[in-house]
Chain A
Amino acid sequence: MTARLRGLCTALVATALLAGVLCSPAAGETTNRSLERIVVKGMFSAEEGARLQRAFATARQAGVEERDALALVQAGVEGEFDAAQTLRVLSIVAQMALEKLPVEGFIAKVEEGVSKRIPADRVVQVAERRALMFNKAKSILNSLVIQGFPVDDRDELLPDLAAALEAGRTPEQARAILVGAFQSGESMGSTRRMLFP
């Protein structure tokens, strides 16, 4: 697909999705209609489109904000994701929402890969790794809570800890840094700085 055609498709899909969400009070129905338009535009087969609608609805039910799910689909369209790749990222984001993990970092990684024109399969792979880091970060923070450390800012700390793990900090190093920071009453800012190599 040429860059021009890709741009046109992106614009059409984004417009269709956003218009669908914004123009009607029945947001769920309109989103489905908007997704149907992707199928109409020939981006996916009817069967793939139906699966995409179900995945979208599942993500929403899992707690993913509509704008986040749309951002992900839109990034997938721009990045020429096939149906399986789009379904994969929707399924990951739904799983993250179910586990009460923040999804913004995952979506940002997909957007980053697409913006850098990385092949779709690699984008999905790297974004999936980021989701795993969020899981690891959550486990570390949970274990600290169980040990009695005052992890009051768990939601705030989670993405930063995940990024630090992604950057090469081992879970053991990260845990030791956090324990030290909690024990010495470090501020959130200095804790963040200590986490990054």
Chain B
Amino acid sequence: MLFCEDVELMLQDYLSGYLLPSQREILEAHVRGCGECRTLVAGLTRLDSRLDGLDDVEVPAGLSHSILAALPAQAYGPSPLRRALSWGGIPALAVLLIVAGFLARGRLQLQDRFAARDVEVVFTAPQAASVTIVGDFNGWDPQRTQLVRSSHEGLWRARLKLAPGVYQYSFVLDGSNWVSDPTAKTLLADGFGGENSVIIVDG
């Protein structure tokens, strides 16, 4: 049985539709049998739909002026740095900041494109004593990446850091039983007579 704290952790992903079908089934089974979680889910679902139903609101002209006018002067007065700058220095500083911003943004975007992503792996194996994941990302070493049992229903999880790309992988139960991921969208023949699951990590 899934614990209520597991449901709380998974709830946002559930409402956003990010859960895997197997995770969704387990969560919904818990919610059906748990009054507290049912109330929580119903409340958040209502809130979500109300927020979705709200119209966009135009910010009234002069709102920031009104707010600033209502504040004491020292709360928003010019900073010592700003006072120190002459009017001639401000445009130059602005140009510098814009250029630096563009450069930093380009660099960050490039870094971000190749940066490793957090990928959560979930596998359901109520009878297993241990579950590991092996794949292109860990040398196919069954000792390297253990999943942790996160519920009494046999839900096992691990968090991987993977750079964008395509990876083949498999689960190993109890050290010797190789099993494909039933939730994988793509399975490929491994060339050895079995098959590997495929995960595509977006950049």
A118:B192 contact, CB within 8 angstroms: yes
A115:B140 contact, CB within 8 angstroms: yes
One of A23-31, A82-90, A106-114 at the interface: A106-114
In terms of DSSP, what is the predominant structure of the interface of chain A?
helix
B168:A163 contact, CB within 8 angstroms: yes
Interface size on B, residues (CB 8 A): 23
A129:B203 contact, CB within 8 angstroms: no
Residues of chain A contacted by B153 (CB below 8 angstroms): none
Residues of chain B contacted by A104 (CB below 8 angstroms): 136
Residues of chain B contacted by A160 (CB below 8 angstroms): 165-166
Mask of B175-190 contacts with A, CB within 8 angstroms, 1/0: 0001000000010111
Q: How distant is A81 from chain B, measured CB to nearest CB, in Å?
A: 15
B188:A192 contact, CB within 8 angstroms: no
Which among B140, B178, B202 is the interface contact of A108 at CB below 8 angstroms?
Answer: B140
Chain A CB within 8 A of B141 CB: yes
B165:A156 contact, CB within 8 angstroms: yes
With the chains together, A188 CA to B202 CA distance in Å?
8
Closest to A196 in B: B186
Chain A CB within 8 A of B164 CB: yes
A189:B194 contact, CB within 8 angstroms: no
Q: A108-B136, A111-B140, A196-B200 are in contact. Are A116 and B194 (CB under 8 A)?
A: yes
A192:B200 contact, CB within 8 angstroms: yes
Q: A115-B142, A160-B165 are in contact. Are A129 and B191 (CB under 8 A)?
A: yes
Closest to B137 in A: A108
Residues of chain B contacted by A193 (CB below 8 angstroms): 200
B192:A105 contact, CB within 8 angstroms: no
With the chains together, A62 CA to B203 CA distance in Å?
30
With the chains together, A160 CA to B192 CA distance in Å?
20
Chain A CB within 8 A of B11 CB: no
B188:A166 contact, CB within 8 angstroms: yes
With the chains together, A196 CA to B186 CA distance in Å?
8
Closest to A112 in B: B140
With the chains together, A129 CA to B203 CA distance in Å?
28
Chain A CB within 8 A of B62 CB: no
Closest to B191 in A: A126
8 Å CB contacts to B: which residues of A117-165?
A: 118, 122-123, 126, 129-130, 156, 159-160, 163
A189:B190 contact, CB within 8 angstroms: no
With the chains together, A117 CA to B164 CA distance in Å?
29
Residues of chain B contacted by A197 (CB below 8 angstroms): 186
Residues of chain B contacted by A168 (CB below 8 angstroms): 189
With the chains together, A156 CA to B200 CA distance in Å?
13
Q: How distant is A185 from chain B, measured CB to nearest CB, in Å?
A: 15
Residues of chain A contacted by B188 (CB below 8 angstroms): 163, 166-167
A112:B190 contact, CB within 8 angstroms: yes
Chain A CB within 8 A of B134 CB: yes
Chain B CB within 8 A of A179 CB: no
With the chains together, A160 CA to B186 CA distance in Å?
14
Residues of chain A contacted by B168 (CB below 8 angstroms): 112, 163
Closest to A153 in B: B203
A-B contact pairs, 10 of them (CB 8 A): A105-B136, A108-B139, A115-B134, A115-B141, A116-B140, A116-B190, A187-B203, A188-B164, A189-B164, A196-B198
Write the residues of chain A forming the contact surface with B, with a CB cutoff of 8 angstroms: 71, 104-105, 108-109, 111-116, 118, 122-123, 126, 129-130, 156, 159-160, 163, 166-168, 187-189, 192-193, 196-197
Write the residues of chain B forming the contact surface with A, with a CB cutoff of 8 angstroms: 134, 136, 139-142, 164-166, 168, 178, 186, 188-192, 194, 196, 198, 200, 202-203
The 4 closest A-B pairs by CB, nearest first: A189-B202, A126-B191, A115-B140, A112-B140
